[in-house]
Amino acid sequence: MKKFKLTDILIGFVFTLLLISLGVIAAVNFRFIYYRDIDHLNISQTSGLEKEVIIKNYDALIRYNSPFYKGNLELPNLPSSPGGLQHFAEVKTIFTAFYYIAAISLVISLLIIFYKHRKKENSYLLVSSITVLVIPFIAVLGSMINFDAIFLLFHKIFFRNNFWIFDPAKDPVITLLPETFFLHSLLVIVAIVLLGSILLLLSYFWTNSKIQYRRRRTVHYR
């Protein structure tokens, strides 16, 4: 491998954005994780609602957070306060941004791969496989130390108000969303990023073997 360049780290940042965005999209849309958590976290007992009702309201919330959904949030069986509705509108904006980031970073990543393939350069793959692990490693380490603090920090960074602090009497939907479920969602994101890092690393070794093979053939035929 040739000595890596500063641009390799920048490329790694692009892959990081792509993988984190894909991880967030996956975590939001993998509904089976929440369905499992209904029983695993005893959400029916803590919320006082039947499993079928919980699923119906959760599905409505997920549909609303899709960038393709147009309209207001309407939970079938639960009331919502104006502050709660505004918070979910802000959450929808964040999720929509991740879809855009995923699309843009995917296009850029494909262009980079095509360009590097033509240049027969692959050092960026190894550097990127390491770079994309930095943020997830910090997230996992922080969550292991104090997930509540990480959860609080996330909300303070992304929200400029206190509407995310729900009153269960006014917004009973919060009883359907325990913090442990968000931890499981974080683990999904980390898993996607880790898988992406492994694929980048395997791609590096695969392309490196091809480059070495071509060089040996070139030397052989001289």
Q: Give 21-60 as a 3 state SS string.
A: HHHHHHHHHCHHHHHHHHHHCCHHHHHCCCHHHHHHHHHH
pLDDT 10s digits, 149-198: 777 777 777 777 887 888 999 999 999 999 899 889 988 998 999 999 99
DSSP 89-141: HHHHHHHHHHHHHHHHHHHHHHHHHHHHHHHT--HHHHHHHHHTTHHHHHHHH
User: Is 126:1 a contact under the CB 8 Å cutoff?
Assistant: yes
Rounded CA separation 3/25 (Å) = 35
With both helix axes pointing from N to C terminus, report the angle between 51-64 and 82-119 in degrees, rounded to the nearest 10. 60
Nearest to 15 by CA among 150, 203, 142: 203
d(CA 54, CA 176): 7
- pLDDT beyond 90 at 200: yes
Position 105 scores a pLDDT of 97
pLDDT tens across 58-97, in order? 999 999 999 999 989 999 989 999 999 999 999 999 999 9
Summarize pLDDT for 123-138 with one digit per residue, the tens. Answer: 899 999 998 888 777 7
Per-residue DSSP letter, 4 = P
Q: Which residue type occupies 194?
A: L
Return the pLDDT at 148: 72
Rg over alpha carbons for the chain, rounded to the nearest Å, is: 22
State phi, psi for 39 to the nearest 5 degrees: -85, -40
